[in-house]
Every structure is written in structure tokens, then in C-alpha cells.
Structure 1
Amino acid sequence: MIKKLDMLITYSRRTCARIFLISESPVHTVMELSEELEEDFYTFLNVSRTAPQEDITNAYRRLSRIYHPDKHTDPLRKKEAEVLFNKTKRAYEVLSDAHKRAIYDNLGTKGLETEGWEIVQRTKTPQEIREEYERLAQQKEEHRLHQRTNPKGSVTVSIDATELFTTYEDAYDEYESRIIPSIEVKGMSFSQSVEAPLTLKDTAFMSGQLSTHKGQGSGSVNVSLRRLTSAEGYAEVEMGFGSGLSFSAKGFRNLTKRIFTNMSGIVTFADRGIVLGFVSTLAHQLDKNTVGYLTYKTSGQSSMTTMLVRDTHRYRSQASIVLGVPHSYLSLSYCHKLEKHDGRLRGAIKAGTFGALVEYGLERKVSEHSSLAVAMSVGVPTGVMLKIKVSRGNQIYNFPIHLCEEVLPSPIFYGTVTPMIAWIFVRRLIVEPYVQQQKAKDIERHRAMHHSQMLERRREAEIAIDLMKETYRRIVEDEENRKGLIISKSVYGRWLDLNHRDHSDTLTDVTIPLQCLVKDSKLILHDASKSQLPGFYDPCMGEDKSLYVQYSFHGVPHEVTIQDSDTLRIPKQSHRKQP
């Protein structure tokens, strides 16, 4: 049973992240390569995933009129039609049966093929099937948690490069005597943490920090235990060793659907005596994208903070006011999300009793697991600082470089322009070639793995088109008589090659199968890969694909190009060719 459970969860089409808040959501690459080519019954019947029974039945009848063996007299054609008719029948049997459809929606065809699984019982309702699946997934998740440590770490190297732009008169003699200005590492810090899930409710954490600055160092080790007290909150206790022994207690609680709070108290036994600290935050979700926070902190330094955060799919903005000892200040920040380029533009301003600070920068995703962020910080009395952050998995590397102790144009200019030029060279010479090389290797590996299946599907598509020809001629004749929708040309494949005839290996003509999907002068394709539509196949597996359609409606020429997984509805006025 355990082996069977592992196989079911491994082939699950819905990750446990949709069931458990504690599971991770991996960042997907442009191309996701599965270990097996999964059949998509919805696309094959050209119905949506929420299609009612009537639509499924109508789609089945439409394909049956093309593929039914009794429609063909030639023995070879009859045999070929029988294969496609059985595939059509299989898709209909699964999607028209509520029990099988529930299993297929959760587990794909692997769930249907697994024999002896307890949930495949006629006595269970579709809802009970989903609940059983979630229970088995929960067992799998608990087993995975026991094996996970989720290590996280950061390294910070503080660099003093002020001699590059020094203007101090008393330093001229020493500076002129040096051929190369001195650049020093003035401080370093390391931190590392691991977690040890004990149960689905209990998790132990261990973390350590070590830092050194101008020859003086310090460090600490912390051990904590967190328990989920309910679906609404958790409690955590922590003990630390470093500058002194410390004990702390933390708690989080959802008060309502829109209000939550967390509190923490700490007791530290230091050389100067016992130090008490307390932090409390009350948060209120004002709308779908906006949350307000009110935080009170007291220890050696006390403060009251009011913060407003708005986070959407396009941007994140934050405004906060801090009233405290020894400093009070106002800060505003804005982050624009560049989804198309996997990047973020950041800007922030901060002003108060300590002085003023302006910061701007850019964060860019380099690869699937790596990102690079560069920011310029200009302030009084801090001066000019260049901040570089490299993230790789759960590891973060920070390099704050102090360029100048005064606000001068030259360090601001060079600190802004130099990283941009360096990134262009690194991206062109290292990053892009590496990413393209890895992508090409993945594509070749995937094609080699599924070579026989690709040939089989191509042959199946060719047979389907041959069987469609009679239906195609009838539909074209009907549409011509009513001056309706006629597909004059349609090509499917790698989008870069759609306008080139010398790339037949990455393009396929789908004019006939697309015309056969026309009903009452309308054609609707749903938001899924078109490669599994009847008469289609994938001519360039692993690469971006598009569908080009040239058609006429009421005698007026139209054309449109869509990405592989986009929805298509024709005819549309916006598709008309300009005279």
C-alpha cells in the first residue's frame, strides 16, 4: 500500500502545496518536462475542464461520426479508425463518469490505471474520492516533512571602498603615493538555520550567527520549538546562547478573518544585568491587497510603528511611520514587478531625526534558482553605498560596498552605471549561453526519452487527418453555402518559424482538423496545449509553440496567431485583415 501510495502521489497533477500551507511552491521554468506524456481527455474532446455532461456527450458524438469503424469500408481504414474511436470512447467513459472524472482530475491517467486503490469504489461519491486523495496526500506530506531540514543561510561581507572617491585633504599625500586605492573588508557575518519537523504540528529550529567587525567578533546559537495550536495560530519557545543566556516566547493568532496578532517576549541575562524585551503587532487586512500593521516594541530602545502595505501582481508599496527612541522617521517604498522579465524595480525614501536616505535598485532572476539584486543607497550622514545581493536557493550573499562618506555625483554615477554595464557583459557572455545550453540539453533528453511516443502520436495525427477528409469536405461545403467560417490555412508549431517554409520539421499543417471543429460557423479552442487536439501533434516538444489561423467569414479574410495555451474564439472583428 505504501509503495502504491508513493506512486499515486508522485504522479499527482496537483501538488500538495494546494493542500498544506507549509509546503513549498517551486519556481517553474519556461519549459516543464514531465517524465511521461500525459493524455489530456478534455483537450482531445475540445471541452473545458468545467464542461457539463451535455457538452462532453456532444463532443463524443461529433468525433464518433468521424472515427466510428462502421463509417469506413476499406479494411485498413476501418482498423485505423478503430484505434482512434477507442481513444475517443475512453475519454468519454472517464469524463462522463463522476467517480472516474474526480480521480482523473486529481491524479491523471495514472490514478485510473492503478488497480486496487481503495478510493475506486462505486459506493464513494466524487467528494469522498477527493477527501480520500487529500488524506493519502497528507500521509505522504507528513513522511516528506520528517526527511526535510530546509537549511537557510546568509553571508554578508562589508567592504570599505571610500578611497576610490576620497576628497579629504589630509589624505591626499597618502592617496597619491598609492598606485591602486585600498579596498578593505571591514566586517563579515554568517548565519545558518535548519528545521526539524517532528510532526505536522511540531517543528524544531536551530540557528546560529557569527559576525566580526574591525577585529571584534560575536556569535550566538538559538534553539526553538514551534507548535501549531490550531488552524488559527501557533506558539513558540526559544532559548539562545551568545552575549548572554536568553529565553523568549512567541505567539501568533488569527482573531478574525481579517485581523491577526503576534506577540513575543524575551528575557536576556547579560553582564549589565537582566534585560527585558517585548514586541507586539496587530494587523488588519483592509482589502484583498492591503494590510495595515501597528507594532509596539520595548527593550533597550522603544518605538511605535504604523505601517501600510499594498501588494498586487504588478507592484508592492509600503508606507510606515516610526516614533521612538533614539530616532523617529518616515519611510516610503515602491517595488514594480516586471513579470515579463522576471525582475523588480525598487525605490525607497527615508527621512527622520537620523537624517535622510534615498535608495533605488533592480532585482533580476538569473536562473530557475538564482537571482541578482543591485541597489544604490544615498543618504546623510551615511554617504553613498552600493548593495549587491546574490540569492541561490536558500542561500543569500550580501555585499554592501561603502563608496563615499559624502554625497558626491561621481560615486553615485559610477555606482549606478558600472553594475549595469557589468551585468550586460555577464548576461551576454555567461548567463544566456548557460541557460540556452541547459534548455537545449533538457529538450534533447526529453525528446530522446519520448521518441517512440512522439512518432506514435504523429502517426496517429496523420491517420486522424486522413479519416477527417470526408467530414472536412462536407463542413466546407455547408459553410460555403451559408458564407460562414472557412479555414483557408492553419499552421501549428514553433512560433519563430510560422512565417518560414524551410522549417517543416517544427511546423505542421492543421487546416483540416481545425475546420472539422467548426460548428455553426464558430470555433472555440480552450486554454490548454493544442497538441492533443484530434489531428494535432507536438512537432517541437519542449519549445514555445503557436497556432496561426487564416480564415474567411462572410467572404472577408481574417487571420490570427495565438500562443499554444491561449483560448481562441473565432470569428472576431479584431481578426479582420486590413485592406
Structure 2
Amino acid sequence: MEENDDAGALIEEDYYTFFNIPRDATQEEISNAYRRSSRLYHPDKHVDPIRKKEAEILFNKTKKAYEVLGDPHQRAIYDSLGTHGLETEGWEIVQRTKTPQEIREEYERLARERDERKLQQRTNPKGSVTVHINATDLFSRYKDDLAYDDSENVHFPTVEVSGMSITQSIEAPLTLRDTMTMSGQLSTQNGTGTGSVVVSLRRLLSEKGWLEVDLGAGNGPTFTLKGFRTLTKRTFSNMATVFHFTPHGIRPDIVTTLATQLDKHTVGYLTWRAGTHSSMSTTIVRDNTTSHAAFSMQFGIPHSFFSLSYTHKLEEMELKLRGSIKAGTFGAVVEYGAEKKVSQHSWLAASVAVGIPSGVTLKIKLSRANQTYIFPIRLSDELIPSPVFYATVTPVIVWAVVKKLIVDPIVHEQKKRDKEKQRELNKTRMAEKKREAQAAVELMRATFARVRSDEEAKRGLVIIKALYGRLVNVPGVSTSGAGEAGSSTEPEYLDEVIDVMIPLQCLVKDAKLVLHEASKSQLPGFYDPCVGEEKLLLVHYLFHSHVHEVVVQDNESLRIPKQSHRVNAT
């Protein structure tokens, strides 16, 4: 449903791939690549006026690439910011005598000035809507209600909205250090409503800390002072002091937290609260790419408890599985559920909370950009099996149906629109790249004949077939990864495929071919035949007169020859 942020990106020049060198190439490697390209595209090597004109275009591109990569100052800008960094407004004031680090700092200063001008035009709205639903009548009707029921009439269970809460905030950056936030909250429960509004001003004192002042109005005015400070490399603390003005006097509350990083993925927290509710709690949180675990223990008034939660992250499926247990003086609650990414900026979560004496509750949560919608559905005031079963099974069935009939078609259509948008945006650029690639191939023919002849003479590396683009049904290859084909079965491919045998053969040196981790559409003689689609490179080659075959993804590195690429004779 939301548009992909990258869908409208303009494709930039990749000078490293144009020279077929790694991004950490030495100046000697850059110079050698420049000389090879110069010999290939130098206009003086061509007599035909059309070929001479094409050679001039490619020779100028070669000089531009060397001008950037051969100059440490421009290379530093290009590595950090791309070609648009070289064209930044105000960049002309930067002295060429500055070091690469000073150049980066100068660009960052110019970027901060632009960002500061944009701050006044930007807000960051956030909000949440919580709708409490009482559906206990579905599973347990009161006995008194049954006594008054007419047996001849059919009773329909009552499902009602028992409460609602709405919060909204708007963030208004004033400067790069000062931010003002206005937030409001409205809630109603069983016919009784409350509301509040808070205005906050936060100032970034330094890289190590900030200070915030909050003024609130609602059930009496409030004044809050908050602060954050980094104490050491591994330790930080924050504190909040709240003064609530009531008809009976000023009611102060203090909350302070001390946190320390125990290891690379683990942080420990110690929190002290004093005032209306006093407590001391300690929490340990461990978070990494595959899981998130937290253990907490609190001693205080009116409640003491311990809690343990664990989340397993399935990154490839964009899915999180969660489970938690909490027990204390209030009773005990076990909660389990899952959270699934349904679009670029949207997550859908469902969980079941089973507790004593709280009963059974199904929670549905939808997060879309900065807005959150929460639906706690109370199914039972008692712990009985039927609501637990239906709360667990129903969301899974509903999601499967909704995904099949609604979500998948919408996501598919959105991806299609994103691809069309990207193609349209880069239409002129791609037409230009196609003409450039075709011209490069024509200019390579003499070099191709020489390199191929040399490799054939020494039974070296000879490219016999090379296709680049949207290949499908390639033996041994899935869309999620590259594979090495050992079958003579021909792959199927669409019109969005180009022949790149000549460009690849020209890159062969001493019976070896090395392609680095970058889109191969930027290689000399290549272009992108299917913008927005997944692309593969299929190569059939001879080495020591034996047939070899390999398929790699667009951004995957390739080194040939390899024994594993050899096709077994049948």
C-alpha cells in the first residue's frame, strides 16, 4: 500500500563498476583501469565519423570517472555522497587543499544549513487510537439474563464498545537543537470522559545530553522537568520530575533510571520511582538481529511483580513471534502472539492475553507510518478454554483469507506501480545508457577479437554465451539466490534480456574474469533492460576446452573460472 521510498530514485553513475574495480581500489588500480579504458575508447583509434563520435562520448566518460576517482578529494565526496555530492550548491567554496575528512565535514555543514531551512516546513505527527471492545457475552452470559429470556426468542450476543482513547502529537523543530511538541489525549470509559494537553520544549545541550520542560493541563495543571545524560561510553541516565497541582496541594513524582551496556547486545536498567506510587525495578534487555528478550523485576506499592518476554524475529518472512509471562501481587498473565509486516510502512499484530483474574483478551494492533490503532477485545472475565481457542485460531484464519483476497493483490499492484514509476522516471536515462552500451559494444569488437583469439590459442577463458536481465526458470537458481548450473537445460527468459558476451570477453585478463559486488548494469557495454525487476547474469564459457556454466544475481560478485562451474558431459 504505501509507495516504496526507492521507487522514485534516479539511477546514478557508478564509476567503480565502469572501471570494473572494487570500491577500495588503490590509486594504481584506478590508473591501470583508466589506461585500459582510454585505449579502448580513444577517438584517434577510429576513422569512421560515427564511431569516432561514439568514442568521444565514452572517452569523456572515462576521463570524468578518472577525474573523480583519481583525485582523493573528489573521491572522498563521491564515496560518501555519490555524484549529487559533487554538484551540491555552495560546494565551490571548498578549498581543494583540504583533506578528505575536512571535505566531508564541509559538506555536512552545508547539508545542515539546508536541513535547517527545511525544518520550519516539517512536522512529525504521531497518534494512536485505542478502542476497547467488550465481547464477553459471546462466551459467558450472566445467569440473571438467562432467567429473563423468552425461550421462544433467539438471543443474539451483545458486543459493545466499552471505552475509547485517542492521542495525537505534532513535533515542530525550531532549530537543529530545539524541538517543540504539542500532544493531546482524550479518553472515555463507561460514559465518563477525560482529556489533557501537553506542550513540551526539548533542547539538545550536547551530544551527551538533552533537557526537556513539559507544561500540561487536564485533571489539574502539571509541570514536568526531564533530562538525559550520557555518563560514560557504556552508561547513561535519565530523570523526570513531575509536579501535579491539585485542589489538595502539589503532588510530586520522581522517576530516575540508570542504564549500562553489559555487552554488545545487552543493556541493564535500574529504575526508582517515588511519589504516588513508589517502586524499585531492574530490567535486563537483550536484543540482536534474530531475537529480543527482556526480564524485569519490580518491588513497590501497590504491586510487586516479575515479567519475562521473548520475541523471535524472522527477518526473511518479516514476521515476529512473541511470548511473555507476568506474575505478581495482582495475579498472573500469559500473553502470546505475532506481528507481521504487511507493507512498506505497516505492521499488523495480534496477541492473546490469558490471566487470573483478568480473563481472556484478544488484542489487534495496526501500525501504519506514525499512526497506531489498537483494539483490545475482552472475550471472557474468567479463564475458560473456548475463548482461548477462538482467540488463537480466528486471527490466523482471518489473516490468511484477508492476505489472499486483499493484501496480496494490493501489494502486487503497488509493486507494479512502483516499477512503472521508476521506469518512467529513468526512461530518458535508460535510453541514453542503452545507446551508450550499444556504442561501447561496437567499439569493443576489435578488442574482443584480439582477446578471444589469445584465449583460444592458450585454451584459456572463452565466453561462448552471456545473458543479462530478467531470466526465469534457470536450472539450479531461485529468485532468492544465485546458483551454479550443471545442466544443459536451456533457461527461459523474457524480452528483457541483453547479450553481453562481447563486453565480458573484453574484461577477461590472463584467463580470469572478476566482477565486483555492484549492479552489472553499470559495466561497460551493459545497461538495465528491466528497471525495477530482479536481474541475473548467465555465463557459459570454455576453460581448457571444457564447458562451464554459472548464474549470479545482479549485485553478486563473480570470479571465473571455477571447477564447480564445470558442466558434466552426458
Report the TM-score, using the length of structure 1 for normalisation. 0.89
Show structure 2 runs of 5+ residues with no match: 476-489
Match of 2:505 among 510, 515, 518: 515
| 1:533 aligns to 2:523 (yes or no) | yes
Following superposition, the deviation at residue 504 of structure 1 comes to: 4.4
Report matched runs for 1:425-464 at 5 Å: 425-464=401-440
Which stretch shifts more, 391-400 or 351-360? 351-360
SS in structure 2 of the partner of residue 541 of structure 1: coil
Q: Which residue of 1 aligns with 2:136?
A: 162
Whole-angstrom CA distance in 2 between matches of 1:30 and 1:355: 45
SS in structure 2 of the partner of residue 534 of structure 1: coil
| 1:563 aligns to 2:553 (yes or no) | yes
Following superposition, the deviation at residue 408 of structure 1 comes to: 2.6
Match of 1:335 among 282, 286, 311: 311
Report the CA distance shift for 1:167/1:196 in structure 2 as closer, same or farther (over 3 A).
same
Q: Which residue of 2 aligns with 1:23?
A: none
Following superposition, the deviation at residue 57 of structure 1 comes to: 1.2
The residue type paired with residue 117 of structure 2 is: H
Whole-angstrom CA distance in 1 between matches of 2:256 and 2:181: 22
Match of 2:381 among 405, 427, 431: 405
Q: Are the aligned partners of 1:159 and 1:187 in contact in 2 as well (CA < 8 Å)?
A: yes
| 1:264 aligns to 2:277 (yes or no) | no
Whole-angstrom CA distance in 2 between matches of 1:417 and 1:351: 25
Q: Are the aligned partners of 2:136 and 2:380 in contact in 1 as well (CA < 8 Å)?
A: yes
Q: Which residue of 1 aligns with 2:169?
A: 193
Q: Are the aligned partners of 2:94 and 2:106 in contact in 1 as well (CA < 8 Å)?
A: no
Q: Which residue of 1 aligns with 2:50?
A: 76
Any idea what the Cα deviations from partners look like across 1:399-423, whole Å, max 9, x if unmatched?
0001122223322222122212222
The residue type paired with residue 512 of structure 2 is: K
Whole-angstrom CA distance in 2 between matches of 1:497 and 1:300: 67
Whole-angstrom CA distance in 2 between matches of 1:555 and 1:296: 76
The residue type paired with residue 35 of structure 2 is: R
Following superposition, the deviation at residue 91 of structure 1 comes to: 1.0
Following superposition, the deviation at residue 152 of structure 1 comes to: 0.9
Q: Which residue of 1 aligns with 2:538?
A: 548
The residue type paired with residue 486 of structure 1 is: V
Following superposition, the deviation at residue 554 of structure 1 comes to: 4.3
Following superposition, the deviation at residue 555 of structure 1 comes to: 4.8
Whole-angstrom CA distance in 1 between matches of 2:428 and 2:60: 20
| 1:63 aligns to 2:37 (yes or no) | yes
Whole-angstrom CA distance in 1 between matches of 2:561 and 2:93: 44
Following superposition, the deviation at residue 31 of structure 1 comes to: 7.5
Match of 1:241 among 210, 217, 238: 217
Whole-angstrom CA distance in 1 between matches of 2:126 and 2:7: 28
Following superposition, the deviation at residue 507 of structure 1 comes to: 1.0
Following superposition, the deviation at residue 156 of structure 1 comes to: 0.3
Any idea what the Cα deviations from partners look like across 1:453-477, whole Å, max 9, x if unmatched?
3223222212222322332333334
Q: Are the aligned partners of 2:138 and 2:157 in contact in 1 as well (CA < 8 Å)?
A: yes
Whole-angstrom CA distance in 1 between matches of 2:391 and 2:536: 42
Report the CA distance shift for 1:385/1:578 in structure 2 as closer, same or farther (over 3 A).
farther
Q: Are the aligned partners of 1:498 and 1:507 in contact in 2 as well (CA < 8 Å)?
A: no
SS in structure 2 of the partner of residue 377 of structure 1: strand
Any idea what the Cα deviations from partners look like across 1:95-145, whole Å, max 9, x if unmatched?
101232233334433444568743454333333321211111111122222
Q: Are the aligned partners of 1:493 and 1:507 in contact in 2 as well (CA < 8 Å)?
A: yes
Q: Which residue of 2 aligns with 1:5?
A: none
Q: Which residue of 2 aligns with 1:208?
A: 184
| 1:323 aligns to 2:299 (yes or no) | yes
Q: Are the aligned partners of 2:297 and 2:306 in contact in 1 as well (CA < 8 Å)?
A: yes
SS in structure 2 of the partner of residue 340 of structure 1: coil
SS in structure 1 of the partner of residue 281 of structure 2: strand
The residue type paired with residue 51 of structure 1 is: A
Q: Which residue of 1 aligns with 2:109?
A: 135
Q: Which residue of 2 aligns with 1:21?
A: none
Q: Which residue of 1 aligns with 2:100?
A: 126
Whole-angstrom CA distance in 1 between matches of 2:230 and 2:356: 41
Report matched runs for 1:371-390 at 5 Å: 371-390=347-366
Report the CA distance shift for 1:548/1:214 in structure 2 as closer, same or farther (over 3 A).
same
Any idea what the Cα deviations from partners look like across 1:165-207, whole Å, max 9, x if unmatched?
1165555456795542100111101111112222222222221
Whole-angstrom CA distance in 2 between matches of 1:548 and 1:322: 60
Whole-angstrom CA distance in 2 between matches of 1:406 and 1:573: 67
| 1:87 aligns to 2:61 (yes or no) | yes
The residue type paired with residue 433 of structure 1 is: P
| 1:41 aligns to 2:31 (yes or no) | no
Report the CA distance shift for 1:377/1:555 in structure 2 as closer, same or farther (over 3 A).
farther
Q: Which residue of 2 aligns with 1:97?
A: 71
The residue type paired with residue 193 of structure 1 is: S
Q: Which residue of 1 aligns with 2:485?
A: none
Report the CA distance shift for 1:181/1:284 in structure 2 as closer, same or farther (over 3 A).
same
Match of 2:272 among 281, 296, 314: 296
Whole-angstrom CA distance in 1 between matches of 2:371 and 2:262: 34
The residue type paired with residue 18 of structure 2 is: F
The residue type paired with residue 103 of structure 1 is: I
Whole-angstrom CA distance in 2 between matches of 1:174 and 1:554: 94
Which stretch shifts more, 232-241 or 426-435? 426-435
Following superposition, the deviation at residue 502 of structure 1 comes to: 6.7
The residue type paired with residue 97 of structure 2 is: T
Count of aligned pairs: 553
Whole-angstrom CA distance in 2 between matches of 1:214 and 1:178: 27
Report the CA distance shift for 1:422/1:28 in structure 2 as closer, same or farther (over 3 A).
closer
Q: Are the aligned partners of 1:119 and 1:132 in contact in 2 as well (CA < 8 Å)?
A: no
SS in structure 2 of the partner of residue 288 of structure 1: coil
The residue type paired with residue 76 of structure 1 is: I
Following superposition, the deviation at residue 380 of structure 1 comes to: 1.6
Q: Are the aligned partners of 1:384 and 1:405 in contact in 2 as well (CA < 8 Å)?
A: yes
Report the TM-score, using the length of structure 2 for normalisation. 0.90
The residue type paired with residue 510 of structure 1 is: V
The residue type paired with residue 543 of structure 1 is: E
Show structure 1 runs of 5+ residues with no match: 1-26
Q: Which residue of 1 aligns with 2:285?
A: 309
Q: Which residue of 2 aligns with 1:19?
A: none
SS in structure 2 of the partner of residue 33 of structure 1: coil
Whole-angstrom CA distance in 1 between matches of 2:462 and 2:237: 62
SS in structure 2 of the partner of residue 128 of structure 1: helix
Which stretch shifts more, 549-558 or 267-276? 549-558
Any idea what the Cα deviations from partners look like across 1:533-570, whole Å, max 9, x if unmatched?
11111011122222223334445544333222222233
Which stretch shifts more, 219-228 or 95-104? 95-104
SS in structure 2 of the partner of residue 182 of structure 1: coil
Q: Are the aligned partners of 2:470 and 2:493 in contact in 1 as well (CA < 8 Å)?
A: no
Whole-angstrom CA distance in 2 between matches of 1:82 and 1:539: 24
The residue type paired with residue 431 of structure 2 is: L
Q: Are the aligned partners of 1:497 and 1:506 in contact in 2 as well (CA < 8 Å)?
A: no
The residue type paired with residue 351 of structure 1 is: A
Report matched runs for 1:459-474 at 5 Å: 459-474=435-450
Q: Are the aligned partners of 2:7 and 2:421 in contact in 1 as well (CA < 8 Å)?
A: no
Following superposition, the deviation at residue 368 of structure 1 comes to: 1.9
